[in-house]
Every structure is written in C-alpha cells, then in structure tokens.
Amino acid sequence: MDLKGSDFRGLTFHQYNFAGMDFSESNFDGCLFLESNFVLADLSNSSLMSADFSKTIGTETNFNHCNLSNAKFDFSIYTKSNFNSSVFRNMSGVNALMSGSQFVKADLFKAILISANLSGSNFIGANLQEAVLGGANLSNANLSNANISKSFIYGLSAWNLRTEGLIQNDLVISHDYEDFILTVDDIEIAQFIYLISQNSKLSNVIDKITSKVVLILGRFSNERYRVLIRIKESLRMNGYVPVLFDFEKPESRSLTETIALLGRMSKFIIADLTDAKSVPQELSVIIPGNPSITIQPILLKGSEVYSMFEHWRQYPWVMNVFEYETIDHLKEQMVPRIIQPAIDYYQAHARKK
C-alpha cells in the first residue's frame, strides 16, 4: 500500500500491520506504536519525532533520513534495517534487537542503548557522542570514522570492531553506582583498564587465567600440527583452557616476546620437541626466570632432542621428556605422564612459597 507523504501526527497504532507499506516522506511525529509490525516497510525521509516503537517489529525496514529524536525503540526488533543519515538524538533503545543494521552517518547523540544488540551493524561516520551503551553488544560492528566520545560503555561487548578513524575520547568505563568516574580513550582496551583500576577484580582474573591456561608449543607442519591439536583436545577434556599459538602476532611484539607473555600467564607449558624449529628460542626466554611455570617436554619416540636442550635439564621446573609412540598413546598418557607431573611440581612449588 502506498501512503507516501501522509500525515499521521499524534496517532496511536495498536498491533497494526504495516508490513511492506510505503510511508516515505510521511509525518509520524508524536505517534505511539504498540506491538506493530513494520517488516519491509519503507519510512525513508519521514519524520518520527517522539514516536514510540516499543515492542515493534521492523526487520529489514528502511528508516533512511528519518528524524527519530526522542523516539522509543525499547524491546523492539529491527534487525538488518536501514537507518542511514537518520537522527536519533535522545532516543531510547533499551534491549532493542538491531543487529546487522545500517547507521551510516546517523546521529545518535545521547541515545540510550542499554543492553541493545547492535552486533554486526555499520556505524561508519555516525555520531554516538554521550550515548549510553552499558551492556550493549557491538561485536563485529564497523565504527570507522564514527565518534563515540564521552559515551558510557560499562559492560559493553566490543569484540572484533573496525575502528579506523574512530574518535573515542573520554569513554566512561566506571559503573554509575561507583563514587568515581573513570575514562579511557580506547574502546578496545577499556575493559582491561577497568580491571587494572579494580585490584581485587584484576587479582581474581589473573588467578583464573593462571589456574586454567596451558600453553602448547611445537612445530606447525602438517603431521606435527595434528599432534598439537590432539593435545589441545585432551587438555580441554580435562578442564583446562589450551592456548595454541597459531595466530598472527601483535605488531608491537616479536613472536618470542608474545610467546613469553603467554607462557607467564600459563599454569604449565607443554612443548613438543619433535623436529623443533622455533621451540628452542621460545623456551630460552621462558625457562630461566620462571620457576613457577612447569615445562613438560614431549618427543616422538625415535626422534632426537635438539642438542641445546640438555642445558635446560638442570632446571627443576623442566620435567623429564615424555616419549610418545603414537598420537593415541599420547592421548592415553596425557593425564598420568604429562598433566599430573606438571601439577605435582606446581603444587610443591606453591607450598614452598
């Protein structure tokens, strides 16, 4: 139905079905929409100031160039919708589901998006200054050239963001019930900075990491990689969090520095010495100064340990080399010959402190 250019100001629509209708260039100022359906409706270039869209459904709806200032989208569903260049100043979208939507150059100044799901949405060039994003999900969102300065982001989920050109000054990461205001200028390190400010919480995080994480070192050729994967699976089955370094290193750190950092965060380390390539260098920066980190070396039976490894046998936190015959043999002996010796040494060392 074509209702283009219509004047609906101040009306109430209860459980109306607007699916597929053309409301472009219409005026909905002050309207109330209760449990209505806007699926595939076209409201581009419309004015919807102070309208109430609470609990409405508008999947794949167009709201391009709309004025939605003070509008309410609480608990509404507008996934994969288009809000490009629209004005959302002071809007409320508490618990709204707007994942995968387009907010290119939208104005969301002081928008209240508490616990809203905005994952995978596109905010290129958008204005999110002073927005309330506590508990919201922005994972996989594109914030390139957007501005989120002075936004409240306590509890925000912000994994895998695109942040090229993002303006992000004075982000508030303290909770509103705390008696201080803590700000940071980088959304991706905000949670870490908050933990640093809370010594007891940081201590708990470190304890959890060091009680569960196990670093796996080895060669990443096809045959050797299969062994590392089997170790990873076995550790997971025994309640540990295995870390296998087969990802791209951070630009600010060398490969060895990154390995050393992960090693110091681990409960113990399993190092496959078979056909070793980078492992000797990695162990050389981990073993000497970390007596609380148990190193459990393993080796395929019939293979030779690299010559310089003899130097590390003098350190009591380096366990005897376990020689495994097959991958299945390695799996069978994972607990008695690899995990348990490492734990026994760890506990004995802890008692001596």
The token pair that represents 94 in the structure block: 């508490």
Which candidate, 290, 269, 286, places its Cα nearest to that of 214? 269
For residue 126, the model assigns a pLDDT of: 98
Which candidate, 231, 244, 243, 237, places its Cα nearest to that of 331? 231
SS3 307: helix
As a whole number of angstroms, the distance between CA 252 and CA 216 comes to: 22
Q: 105: number of CA atoms within 13 Å, CB side?
A: 5
For residue 265, the model assigns a pLDDT of: 83
Q: Indicate the residue type of 115.
A: S
Chunked mean pLDDT (size 10), the chain, 353 residues:
79 81 78 75 81 87 87 91 92 94 97 97 98 96 97 92 94 76 84 67 64 88 89 92 67 69 88 92 91 93 92 92 94 93 80 58
Cβ neighbours of residue 310 closer than 8 Å, sequence gap 6 or more:
none
For residue 345, the model assigns a pLDDT of: 84
For residue 139, the model assigns a pLDDT of: 95
For residue 195, the model assigns a pLDDT of: 67
As a whole number of angstroms, the distance between CA 43 and CA 59 comes to: 13
DSSP state of 314: G
As a whole number of angstroms, the distance between CA 78 and CA 96 comes to: 8
DSSP state of 238: T
Give the dihedral sign, CA 51/49/61/73: negative
For residue 30, the model assigns a pLDDT of: 78
How distant, in Å, are the alpha carbons of 120, 171, 185 from that of 168?
19, 7, 5
SS3 252: coil
As a whole number of angstroms, the distance between CA 130 and CA 11 comes to: 31
In the chain, what is the straight-line distance between the N-terminal and C-terminal CA atoms, in Å?
A: 77
- In order of their start, the domains of the chain are 205-352 (3.40.50.360)
For residue 183, the model assigns a pLDDT of: 85
For residue 249, the model assigns a pLDDT of: 47
Query: C-alpha angle with apex 345: 352 to 307, nearest 5 degrees?
Result: 120
For 40, other C-beta atoms within 10 Å of its C-beta total: 15
